[in-house]
Amino acid sequence: MVIALLFRDLKLSVRAGGGALIGVLFFTTVVAVIPFGVGPDLNLLSRIGPAIVWIGALLSALLGLDRMFQTDREDGSLDLLLMQEHPLALTVLVKCLAHWLGNGLPLVIASPLLGLFMNMDEVAIGATMLTLLVGTPALTFIGAVGAAVAVALPRGGLLVSILVLPLAIPVLIFGVSASYAAVQDPAPFMPPFLILVAITMFFAVLGPLGAALALRNAGD
């Protein structure tokens, strides 16, 4: 049963050495230093707030990506995952879901607190949280391809981030523009939000397929 993999990866992400807490701490650090750097201009902070929260979430999401398949490769589990009759793309999809639940969802949950740091109002906080909830899975799916390509490299961390970043930029653009549209009156919220949903659904299909292909060909 593939679902057993979901529970195992979730357990691993909260145990010692798991990435769940690291991502949230990094996110908090990035956003918390902004007010000190920008200064106590509350209007400015609330204006740049959604963008800063989104950039912080993007960077934190990139941080844990390279471990997605590498830990399994190091201890030999990846070989056994590849041998089973379950379609490999399904196995990768489950690993992506587990990775998002362990690393992406905590960022979404932490975002309202960080919104307060940035003097954002309720609507802006709500919109940012909603767009993060919809957008961060796309980052995980895109990242899975990068992580699979770099799985055989001993220090692939930075490489994964660089490979993934260009594809992650559209997610950032539409996430931030939807967040702004919710607070600035003339701009409509739905078009950028729906494009964000579409990006996530598109990569939910393409990401696992691409990652499965890369893993099959990474054989050493």
- Smallest separation (angstroms) from another protein to the CB of 11: 6
- Smallest separation (angstroms) from another protein to the CB of 123: 41
Q: Which helix (H) or strand (E) holds 67?
A: helix 67-74
Does 74 interact with another protein (rule: CB under 8 A)?
A: yes
- Residue 93 Cα to chain centre, angstroms: 14
- The C-alpha atoms of residue 192 and residue 63 are separated, in whole angstroms, by 26
Q: Which one of residues 30, 67, 79, 207 is an interface residue with another protein (CB under 8 A)?
A: 79
Could you tell me which stretch among 48-56, 61-69, 80-88, 119-127 binds another protein (CB under 8 A)?
Answer: 80-88
Site for another protein in 4-63 (CB under 8 A): 4-5, 7-8, 11-12, 15-18
Residue 209, judged by CB atoms within 10 A of its CB (0-12, 13-18, 19+), counts as middle
Q: Which one of residues 37, 185, 186, 220 is an interface residue with another protein (CB under 8 A)?
A: 220
Q: Are 117 and 35 in contact (CB under 8 A)?
A: yes
Site for another protein in 114-173 (CB under 8 A): none
- The C-alpha atoms of residue 104 and residue 151 are separated, in whole angstroms, by 20
Q: Which one of residues 37, 39, 40, 75 is an interface residue with another protein (CB under 8 A)?
A: 75
- Smallest separation (angstroms) from another protein to the CB of 9: 10
- CB nearer to another protein: pick between 3 and 40: 3
Could you tell me which stretch among 78-86, 95-103, 122-130, 144-152 binds another protein (CB under 8 A)?
Answer: 78-86
- CB nearer to another protein: pick between 29 and 84: 84
- Smallest separation (angstroms) from another protein to the CB of 152: 13
The DSSP code sequence of 78-109 is: HHHHHHSSS-HHHHHHHHHHHHIIIIIHHHHH
- Taking residue 159's Cβ as centre, other Cβ atoms within 10 Å add up to 14
- Smallest separation (angstroms) from another protein to the CB of 58: 28
- Smallest separation (angstroms) from another protein to the CB of 127: 37
Q: Are 107 and 24 in contact (CB under 8 A)?
A: yes
Please report the beta strands in 113-170, taking only residues with DSSP state E, as ranges in sequence order.
none
- The C-alpha atoms of residue 199 and residue 101 are separated, in whole angstroms, by 19
Binding residues vs another protein (CB under 8 A): 1-5, 7-8, 11-12, 15-18, 74-77, 79-85, 217, 219-220
